[in-house]
Amino acid sequence: MGVVFAVALGLDQLTKWLVQSTMELGETIPVIDPILSWHYILNPGAAFSIGTNITWVFTLFQAAVVVYIAVIASRVRYTPWALALGGVAGGAAGNLVDRLFREPSFGMGHVVDFIAVPKFAVFNIADSFVVCSMIAACLLIFRGVNLDGRRPDAEEARSTDDEAA
């Protein structure tokens, strides 16, 4: 979990630093024209720039996510859960760093977004880690897999089969 957390946070902050070092705010650079470009923006809100006037709420939420995952980390005994939760925490931490330390003020900072998909969104590496990791977590939940890798429904079915035999 810690490695995924560090990779997500590190890649996110490195790519944001590269964008801010090499691009002007508002600049667009085609990457795979017309389906992908770099478009440097500062986002005070959440996904799709929702909630631009309540940046502090996102700051608190992201901090809570990181703290919660840190608290339950010792209970995780299943690699897919460790990967998923490490990705969520690392992505949340990447955007939390922006909110805490970027302009305009502590806790109200704007997030650097730059990956642009036309008619969809402009996002960053942290967002990608959060979304992909949440999809993985949802699949684990859907399959009924606990943090330790056990599937209680499968265990109940086995014990019922054993009793019937």
Q: Could you list the residue range(s) of the whole structural domain that residue 40 is in?
A: 2-164
C-alpha atoms less than 13 angstroms from C-alpha of 53 in its C-beta half-sphere: 0
76 conformational bin, left if phi > 0, alpha if psi -120 to 50, beta if neither: beta
Task: Tell me which of 12, 33, 98, 113 is the catalytic residue.
Answer: 113
Q: Is the pLDDT of residue 164 over 70?
A: no
Task: Tell me which of 33, 127, 148, 153 is the catalytic residue.
Answer: 127
Rounded Cα distance between 58 and 68, Å, is 15
For the stretch 58-93, pLDDT in tens is: 999 999 999 999 999 999 999 999 999 999 999 999
How many domains is the chain partitioned into structurally? 1
Rounded Cα distance between 30 and 60, Å, is 34
Rounded Cα distance between 72 and 142, Å, is 20
Catalytic annotation present for 113: yes
The whole-number average pLDDT for the span 115-143 is 97
Better-predicted residue by pLDDT, 45 or 64: 64
For the stretch 142-154, pLDDT in tens is: 999 999 999 987 6
Contact 41, 114 (CB under 8 A): yes
